[in-house]
């Protein structure tokens, strides 16, 4: 198998970066449309120091789910308005919808995350759901986004929980990368991990541990600091490049298993991934010092370290076993871990991770 890595063509980040969007769109095509999440439309676009109409940029509000129905609606708008550049502005679902719609229409796509909650912005894949929010499939685009533009003043203005959730998603990157390297498993772009992918994953982890808490505190005050800038880059760029070009393993598979339990639906992607990291450490016989460092980090920034913190205080043994079984379905990335991974071993790791989390409280 070949080594493989993928990247967006351009990445811009900083306070006030949004004012660059019209020029960025103009460089990519003649007619742009922003697909904005409802909050992005009311909080971000309305308050930006840009006259979108004067710039000739259309605005459309995202209808809430990355599903075929919404994709059909956006496709019709692209066709009718002769759009050549689509901007996805909002959280992971709006971004994923814009990436798929642009890929299908073979037009340029610019991603403008308004929260640093996931590593979706830079990737060349998107997660498709039914209109009722049930996971359908992962859709791979022909290429990664043409540009990713992150206005850190916008991110700092959003609730801190989103930034912390993004740290949970980013926390998985280094551990999953190491697992893929250990077992020469395929990464998320269909190849083997490059040295670049692995180094980026490590930088992501080191940045989280060094600057995560200071960034959380800055976000609580809604101010942009160098620490916040570093964490936004870790959550969006380093985590995104890392997971695609190094690979996924236990943490994301356990996240997928947890989504089978309705009690977890109120929790964000990165919050469930964080618990997946803790359980993954128990599954892979991680060194005690690493386990301690990760729990300490999660406790400091406010990521879940117990099942109760994911709404599962009263989860039945059968329900937890169902989540563990789902995490071990043949197509799941948990099989990138060393050895033979079974639902029984995974359930034991989840129970142990929860008990360790409780014992530290």
Ligand X SMILES: NC(=O)c1ccc[n+]([C@@H]2O[C@H](COP(=O)([O-])OP(=O)(O)OC[C@H]3O[C@@H](n4cnc5c(N)ncnc54)[C@H](O)[C@@H]3O)[C@@H](O)[C@H]2O)c1
Smallest distance, Å, CB 10 to ligand X? 18
Contacts of 9 (CB under 8 A, 6+ apart): 144, 145, 146, 147
Binding site feature residues: 92-96, 114-117, 119, 123, 129, 169, 252, 269
Question: Is 169 annotated in the active site?
Answer: yes
| Of the residues 63, 84, 97, 123, which one makes contact with ligand X according to CB under 6 A | 123
The one-character DSSP state at 306 is: S
Distance of CA 50 to the CA centre of its chain: 28
Cα separation of 104 and 118, whole Å? 23
Catalytic one among 255, 335, 336, 354?
255
3-class state of residue 37 by DSSP: coil
Query: Annotated catalytic residue: which of 103, 151, 252, 354?
Result: 252
Residue 194 near residue 242, CB atoms below 8 Å: no
Q: Which of 82, 80, 79, 91 is nearest to 35 (CA)?
A: 91
Does the annotation mark 269 as catalytic?
yes
- For residues 267 and 282, give the distance between their C-alpha atoms in angstroms, rounded to a whole number: 22
Closest CB 327 distance from Zn ion, rounded Å? 14
Site string for ligand X, 7-46 (x = CB under 6 A): ------------------------------xxxx--xx--
Looking at the Cβ atoms of 43 and 194, the one nearer to ligand X is 43
Give the span between the Cα atoms of 324 and 350, in whole angstroms: 8
Burial letters 25-50, b for 16+ CB under 10 A, else e: beebeebbbbbbbebbbebbbeeeee
Instruction: Determine if 188 is a binding residue for Zn ion (CB under 5 A).
Output: no
Per CB under 5 A, the segment of 13-21, 124-132, 162-170, 191-199 that binds Zn ion is 162-170
Report residue 195 CA to chain centroid gap: 22
Alpha helices, DSSP H, located in 106-159: 152-157
Binding partner of residue 247 among Zn ion, ligand X, none, CB cut-off 5 to 8 Å per kind: none
Query: Which residue in 63, 84, 97, 114 binds ligand X (CB under 6 A)?
Result: 114
The reply to whether 169 sits near Zn ion by the rule CB under 5 A is: yes
Minimum CB separation of residue 118 from Zn ion in Å reads 6
Residue nearest to Zn ion (CB): 169
Residue 288: CB minimum distance to ligand X, A = 30
Q: Are 279 and 294 in contact (CB under 8 A)?
A: no
Q: Which helix (H) or strand (E) is 87 found in, with range?
A: strand 85-90
Q: Name the residue nearer to ligand X (CB basis): 119 or 354.
A: 119
Q: Which residue is nearest to ligand X (CB)?
A: 92
Contact residues: ligand X, CB under 6 A: 37-40, 43-44, 66, 90-94, 96, 114-115, 117-120, 123, 125-127, 154, 158-159, 268-269
Contact residues: Zn ion, CB under 5 A: 169
Active site residues: 169, 252, 255, 269
């Amino acid at each position: 198998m070949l080594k493989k890595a993928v990247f967006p063509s351009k990445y811009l980040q900083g306070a006030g970066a949004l004012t660059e969007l019209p020029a960025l769109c103009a460089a990519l095509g003649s007619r742009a449309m922003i697909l904005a999440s409802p909050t992005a439309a009311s909080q971000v676009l309305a308050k930006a120091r840009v006259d979108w109409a004067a710039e000739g940029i259309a605005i459309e509000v995202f209808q809430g789910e990355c599903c075929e129905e919404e994709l059909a609606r956006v496709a019709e708008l692209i066709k009718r308005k002769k759009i050549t550049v689509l901007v996805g502005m909002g959280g992971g679902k709006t971004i994923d919808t814009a990436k798929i719609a642009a890929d299908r229409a073979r037009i340029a796509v610019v991603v403008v995350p308004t929260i640093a909650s996931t590593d979706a912005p830079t990737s060349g894949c998107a997660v498709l759901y039914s209109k009722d929010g049930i996971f359908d499939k992962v859709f791979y685009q022909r290429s990664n986004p043409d540009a990713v533009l992150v206005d850190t003043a916008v991110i700092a203005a959003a609730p801190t929980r989103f930034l912390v959730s993004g740290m949970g998603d980013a926390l998985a990157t280094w551990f999953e990368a190491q697992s893929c390297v250990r077992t020469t498993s395929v990464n998320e772009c269909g190849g083997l991990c490059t040295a670049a992918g692995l180094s980026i994953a490590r930088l992501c982890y080191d940045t989280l541990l060094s600057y995560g808490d200071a960034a959380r505190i800055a976000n609580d005050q809604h101010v942009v600091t160098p620490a916040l800038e570093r964490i936004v880059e870790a959550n969006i760029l380093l985590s995104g490049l890392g997971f695609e070009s190094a690979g996924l393993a236990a943490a994301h598979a356990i996240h997928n298993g947890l989504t089978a339990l309705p009690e977890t639906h109120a929790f964000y992607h990165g919050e469930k991934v964080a618990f997946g990291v803790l359980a993954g450490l128990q599954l892979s016989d991680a060194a005690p010092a690493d386990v301690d460092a990760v729990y300490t980090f999660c406790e400091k920034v406010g990521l879940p370290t117990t099942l109760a913190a994911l709404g599962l205080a009263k989860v039945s043994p059968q329900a937890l076993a169902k989540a563990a079984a789902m995490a071990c379905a043949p197509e799941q990335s948990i099989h990138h871990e060393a050895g033979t991974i079974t639902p029984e071993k995974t359930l034991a790791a989840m129970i142990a991770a929860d008990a360790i989390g409780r014992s530290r409280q």
